[in-house]
Structure 1
């Protein structure tokens, strides 16, 4: 299933630039394929969120938002796999599997509904036979302790609010492909 389309830009290339900090993972690496355990059950995965840790963010950071987005999904608007907001500033790591609960174990944090309709991490599931999709895991360092949002907010609305409160951003971009 080759959809013969242009590769969309990275979502952060079209937003106002912000400084970068460091995002690392024991589970996922830039440009490397995700292991099946981080894929959605619909493609044989275990739907487990990867371990993520971040350092070097601005001293004035008051909270974080963690997101995972597939800009290559054949939807016209990409596909949001995870949006975790209001992560306290003292939380600088999420263990593997944290995304299975709405708060990811971070007091006061919550996930908004992903594009699967769930308030949790939803694994990679590109169409079989399509090119490798990019999964943009991002941690946004924010200038506010809490975004004024509820769990019913859409990922797009969270993104709109992030544009005005992001001090810096850290990103890892693994890939995933389902052979056709």
Structure 2
């Protein structure tokens, strides 16, 4: 079976040749384009089926990731509970160290940590300030679209013969609009 890009090339080539006055040639070209379009549609069916298979694989992988994540959480909790069990019993027995042939368990003092009881009472020299500045892309997009629409209207007036070039708004250098890739929708 022909590859999709080859079909696309053939179809584009035939469409380019379709601009002719010869009715017989036009009819033959249209017949050839209909055949290629039929092949194109069959290829599209196959691609959609492959896509659906891959989507089901993705779903299965996501489910397995969730299952393994839950298993990891359970195992990590078990490790923490077993370690805590050993620590509490060593503290209760007043044992600081257990030496075995394969390992040594040492009961270490916990690290001191600060608990802030009243944040408002902490002196300024003992605080840090965190600031986050990020561009508001929605506001920027609205402004850029507004400028584009204004300039399009002015250019139409200029094309009609009006002297309106002084009304054009310069597009900002800090951002621009760019169209993303097109997408397909399969229902």
In the superposition, the TM-score normalised over structure 1's length comes to: 0.14
Q: Which has the higher contact order (CA 8 A, sep 6+)?
A: 1
Between Structure 1 and Structure 2, the one with more strand by share is 1
- Between Structure 1 and Structure 2, the one with more helix by share is 2
